[in-house]
Chains A and B, each alone.
Chain A
Amino acid sequence: MRESLRHRQHLFRVAALFVTGLLLFVAVRALLVPPDFGLYGHYRAGALTDIRKTAPSFAGRSACADCHPDISEALAKGKHARIGCESCHGALGRHAADPEKLKPAMLEIPALCLSCHTANVAKPKKFPQIDPSDHGDGARCTSCHAAHHPGDAP
């Protein structure tokens, strides 16, 4: 026997240890890494499904128009046509799902109107703005302006 292979048993032991370690690594990795990891890229594809599971709170204006066509028609003719219903009335996904269970809250006027229409030099010049201290004499905004179609009498 050649001198260099006299202690080959030692080499075999190390090799066996190495192979066992490798197999163990592969097995543990297969257990821990979800099968969908790397399907689209270096991430877990199931995360997309997880994120999509959340239920929307805002129903969207088409859901409102389904039950309130009269208001949505009036809105479409006026200057507020662009504004989504839930922009003023708040998130009403639960109301759309079950109209009896959740009734929309009454709106805080004038705070709501003023959240957009208070004068501010940073606002675009074209945007209609008022100084609440010298406009309306403290009257409720909606007694002069129709909220859904401003410009017309309420």
Chain B
Amino acid sequence: MTTDRREFLAHAGKYLLLTGAAAVAFDKVMAGRPAEADNYRTTDHWWAYAIDIEKCIGCGSCVRACKAENGVPLEPFYFRTWVERYHVRPEDSLHPEVDSPNGGYDGFRELYAAGDGSKSFFVPKMCNHCADSPCEQVCPVGATFRSPDGVVLVDKKYCLGCRYCIQACPYGCRFLDPRTNTADKCTLCYHRITKGKTTACVEVCPTGARQLGDLKNPKDPIHAFLKDNKVQVLKPQMATGAKLYYAGLDGSVR
């Protein structure tokens, strides 16, 4: 079989072109999936969180531990998690008094007297790690996203600091980090839970009011928590797919 010059050039061109494309594709394949570089597989987990309000004593350990673990600015108003105190008078449960001095970082001074028919209790708050999070939907540059294992995170390199997400979060869980001018929020201690540790707030909670759970792990105690308690999420009417479940949540909490 003979090959003339024209045919040879056509074949050579085709092969060169195709191997070039294959080389590019091969590089992408070899780069691997960044989040699955070790034995943690994002697709094996679906993280959720549970808080038992009837166990919270308002000690503020979680607030302090969160700031220590994640290097959150110590000034008031920068919180990845904080604790609120609700004071509800029986005749006006729609207008509770809510306070959160320094986010509960220093605990709570006694403000209310017992025995006047009113009730008060503590409500720890943090990112709800919504499955359909409003913050993620408004981000114009793809800096805020929900990871494949159900954690809402911020890409600090991509964040412009436009603050749309801070406005969009119905739970007030975001703030602008004054040092980097980027949005900041609870990462569910992503650097810990992907290494088999629990979050800092759960680690230090003295009463077990806080609980991290992996809904894809059938042996996780969170399934018992969700089954044995009457649970509720905050603002269910907003259909955010919140995965922070509260047991003992009073109707006055918002």
**Chain A residues in the interface with B (C-beta under 8 A):** 35-37, 39-58, 60-61, 80, 82-84, 86-87, 90-91, 115-116, 118-124, 127
Q: Smallest Cβ distance from A42 to chain B, in angstroms?
A: 4
Complex Cα spacing A83 to B144, Å: 34
Give the shortest distance, in Å, between B102 (CB) and chain A (any CB): 14
Q: A36-B31, A48-B42 are in contact. Are A82 and B206 (CB under 8 A)?
A: yes
Q: Is the CB of B37 within 8 A of A51?
A: no
How many whole Å from A46's CB to the nearest CB in chain B?
Answer: 5
A43 proximity list for chain B (CB < 8 A) = 142-145, 155, 158
The interface stretch among B186-194, B212-220, B239-247 is B186-194
Q: Is the CB of B33 within 8 A of A45?
A: yes
* In contact, A60 and B55 (Cβ under 8 angstroms): no
| B85 contacts across to A, CB distance below 8 A | 122
Partner of B191, one of A54, A87, A122, A127: A54
Assuming the A-B contacts A49-B37, A52-B190, A122-B122, are A42 and B145 also in contact, with contact meaning beta carbons closer than 8 angstroms in the complex?
yes
The answer to whether B112 touches A122 (Cβ under 8 A) is: yes
Task: Assess whether B191 is in contact with A55, with CB atoms less than 8 Å apart.
Answer: yes
Rounded to whole Å, the gap between the CB of B252 and the closest CB of chain A is 13
Residues 92-129 of B contacting A (Cβ, < 8 Å): 107-108, 110, 112-114, 120-122
14 contacts across the A-B interface (CB closer than 8 A) = A48-B153, A51-B190, A52-B191, A53-B191, A56-B189, A82-B208, A84-B205, A87-B203, A90-B68, A91-B69, A119-B110, A120-B108, A122-B108, A127-B207
**Inter-chain pairs besides A120-B58, A122-B85, 5 sampled, C-beta below 8 Å:** A42-B142, A43-B145, A50-B156, A116-B206, A127-B57
CB-based A-B contact count at 8 angstroms: 145
B231: A residues at CB distance < 8 A: none
- The distance in angstroms between the C-alpha atoms of A122 and B83, with both chains bound, is 12
Chain B residue with Cβ nearest A80: B206
B147 A40 Cβ-Cβ under 8 A = yes
Residues of chain A within 8 A of B59, CB atoms compared: 115-116
Q: Is B34 part of the binding interface, using a Cβ–Cβ cutoff of 8 Å?
A: yes
B150 within 8 A of A: no
Chain A neighbourhood of B34, CB < 8 A: 36, 39, 45-46, 48-49
Inter-chain CA distance A51–B158, complex, in Å, is 13
Q: In this complex, what residue of B is CB-closest to A83? A: B206
| Known contacts A53-B191, A87-B61, A87-B203, A39 near B155 by CB under 8 Å | no
User: Interface size for chain B: under 10, 10 to 19, 20 to 34, or 35 or more residues?
Assistant: 35 or more
Contact partners of B169 in chain A: CB under 8 A: none
Residue of A36, A45, A57, A119 near B68 (CB, 8 A) is A57
Interface centre among A51, A90, A122 (most CB of B within 10 A): A122
Decide: A84 and B107 in contact? CB cutoff 8 A.
Answer: no
Task: Evaluate contact between A60 and B191: CB separation under 8 angstroms.
Answer: no
**Is B54 positioned at the interface, with any CB of A under 8 Å from its CB?**
yes
CB distance from A78 to the nearest CB of B (A): 13
A55 to B70 alpha-carbon distance, docked (Å):
10
Q: Is the CB of A51 within 8 A of B57?
A: no
Q: Which of B28, B113, B145, B206 is the one whose CB lies under 8 Å from A47? A: B145
Residue of A nearest to B62 (CB): A87
**Looking at the complex, which one of B122, B158, B189 makes contact with A44 (CB distance below 8 Å)?**
B158
User: Does B197 contact A56, Cβ atoms closer than 8 Å?
Assistant: yes
* Contact (Cβ within 8 A) B110 A57: no
Asked whether, in the complex, the Cβ of B35 is within 8 Å of the Cβ of A48, the reply is yes
Q: In the complex the two chains form, is A51's CB within 8 Å of B157's CB?
A: no
- Interface flags for B40-75 (1: CB within 8 Å of A; 0: not) read 001000000000001111111100010011100000
When distances are taken between beta carbons in the complex, the residues of chain A under 8 Å from B61 are 87, 115
Q: Is B89 an interface residue (CB 8 A)?
A: no
A24 to B108, CA, bound (A): 60
Q: Decide if B114 touches A44 in the complex (CB within 8 Å).
A: no
Whether A37 and B205, one on each chain, are in contact in the complex, defined by CB atoms closer than 8 angstroms, is no
